[in-house]
Amino acid sequence: MSTQNLTAKDIIRTVTQKLSLRDVRTTSETFGDFYFDGKYLFRVKMPNEHGARTSVSPGLLKACRESAFLNSGEYADLVRCPISSEKYVELLHEKGIIKG
């Protein structure tokens, strides 16, 4: 699935909820911390809500998806709902981000 036409509002709402991000904060972009089994693993970058109804630029989308350790299709699926939080954790296991 393509990442074009993903809006900041869709990304922030969906990614924050699905990944149960903690300590969500906004600077020039929005960041949230991803925890697994009670341990901090990494920070996920998202666009800020300014201009939330317009599509996010390809460069910012790339930075956001790389911060979540996903390729373009996986990131689009995460935002558009085919990937659940359980499937996301499974993908992280497959990629070796989460060990064990």
Residue 3 lies in a domain: no
Task: Report the predicted TM-score, pTM, of the whole model to 2 decimal places.
Answer: 0.85
User: So what's the pLDDT on residue 43?
Assistant: 97
Residue 40 lies in a domain: yes
Rounded-to-integer distance, Cα 98 and Cα 37, Å: 10
Instruction: Give the tens place of pLDDT for each residue, 23-65.
Output: 999 888 899 999 999 999 999 999 987 766 778 889 999 999 9
Rounded-to-integer distance, Cα 87 and Cα 29, Å: 26
Rounded-to-integer distance, Cα 80 and Cα 100, Å: 28
Instruction: Give the tens place of pLDDT for each residue, 4-25.
Output: 678 888 899 999 999 999 999 9
Residue 49 lies in a domain: yes
Q: Which residue range is the domain that position 19 belongs to?
A: 8-94
Is residue 44 within 8 A of residue 24, CB to CB? The reply is no
Residue 100 lies in a domain: no
User: So what's the pLDDT on residue 51?
Assistant: 61
Rounded-to-integer distance, Cα 100 and Cα 96, Å: 9
Structural domains of the chain, count: 1
Residue 19 lies in a domain: yes
- Nearest one of 34, 43, 37 to 99, comparing CA atoms: 37
